[in-house]
């Protein structure tokens, strides 16, 4: 049982380059999330999705785009990477939150991204 | 605004008990989560409280007081493997999690 899988695990980019981070889950979860984690700060929500074909902005969406074409996959794109986007990115998923709020989020192992 | 406060770092001795406190302010409230995160790894779920009181799970217990906006995680019989960061997260009225910065727990022999 793989759970939540993120690729790649590490990446170094130059300022201005673009890239896509992939998240895949095999638990048939409806909800998926992208977070970033920076030293001294809590996890911050970038974008999330409540189902296939839907996406919504989180707390810090600027500079990122997402797509959820298939239920099991949630992609995070950086259009033009900036040094401020150097961070650890976590994907998470859980069953529907509304009406069933006590379902915990399951996290992938993270992608460590450095922008030079 | 929404905010989660927890201590940055705590130190405890192997075999002892430690209590990690968390205060929260959220727009609406749908529960309080605790996660454990070892260095370089993903957060993993520990506990969930939505009603006042204590929830016990083996060596770990979590307490919630909704009137005080306060929770704590209690770890008993500490083991070296408990060295990790402990993340407190409040769920708001939109079922979104608001995360604290985490408490780094250092266990000494």
Mean pLDDT over residues B18-45, rounded? Answer: 95
Distance from CA of A14 to the nearest CA of B (A): 23
B87 in Cβ contact with B27 (< 8 Å): no
Closest CA to A85 of A15, A9, A8: A15
Q: What is the mean pLDDT of chain B?
A: 95
Q: Does A45 contact chain B (CB < 8 Å)?
A: yes
A84 φ, ψ to 5°?
-70, -10
Q: Which residue's structure tokens are 């217990």? A: B61
Residue B57, judged by CB atoms within 10 A of its CB (0-12, 13-18, 19+), counts as exposed
Q: What is the DSSP letter of B16?
A: S
Mean pLDDT over residues B21-36, rounded? Answer: 94
Given this model, what pLDDT does residue A12 score? 97
Residue-wise pLDDT for A18-48, tens only, equals 999 999 999 999 999 999 999 988 899 999 9
Contacts of A61 (CB under 8 A, 6+ apart): A46, A47
Q: Is the predicted pLDDT of residue A1 greater than 70, yes or no?
A: no
Given this model, what pLDDT does residue A8 score? 97
Given this model, what pLDDT does residue B95 score? 82
Q: Which residue's structure tokens are 């070892």? A: B38
Judged by CB atoms closer than 8 Å, whether chains meet at A90 and B42 is answered as yes
Q: Which residues of B touch A (CB under 8 A)?
A: 4, 8, 30-31, 33, 35, 41-45, 48, 50, 87, 89, 91, 95-102
First and final CA of chain A: distance in angstroms? 36
Which two structure tokens, joined as six digits, stand for A96?
């529907």
Contacts of B28 (CB under 8 A, 6+ apart): B92, B93, B94
Q: A64 forms bridges with which residues in the sheet? A: A78
């Amino acid at each position: 049982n793989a759970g939540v899988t993120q690729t790649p695990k590490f990446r170094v980019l130059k300022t201005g380059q673009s890239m896509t981070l992939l998240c895949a889950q095999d638990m048939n979860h409806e909800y998926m999330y992208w977070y970033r984690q920076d030293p001294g700060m809590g996890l911050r929500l970038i974008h999330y999705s409540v189902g296939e074909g839907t996406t919504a902005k989180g707390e810090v969406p600027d500079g990122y785009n997402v797509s959820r074409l298939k239920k099991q996959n949630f992609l995070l794109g950086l259009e033009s990477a900036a040094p401020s986007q150097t961070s650890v990115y976590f994907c998470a998923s859980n069953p529907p939150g509304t009406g069933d709020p006590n379902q915990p989020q399951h996290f992938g192992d993270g992608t460590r991204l450095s922008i030079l | 605004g929404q905010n989660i406060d927890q201590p940055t770092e705590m130190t405890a001795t192997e075999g002892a008990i430690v209590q990690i406190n968390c205060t929260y302010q959220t727009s609406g409230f749908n529960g309080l989560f605790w996660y454990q995160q070892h260095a370089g790894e993903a957060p993993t779920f520990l506990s969930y409280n939505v009603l006042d009181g204590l929830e016990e799970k083996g060596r770990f217990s979590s307490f919630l007081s909704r009137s005080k906006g306060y929770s704590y995680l209690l770890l008993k019989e500490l083991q070296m493997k408990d060295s990790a960061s402990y993340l407190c997260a409040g769920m708001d009225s939109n079922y979104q999690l608001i995360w604290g910065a985490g408490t780094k727990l250092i266990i000494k022999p």
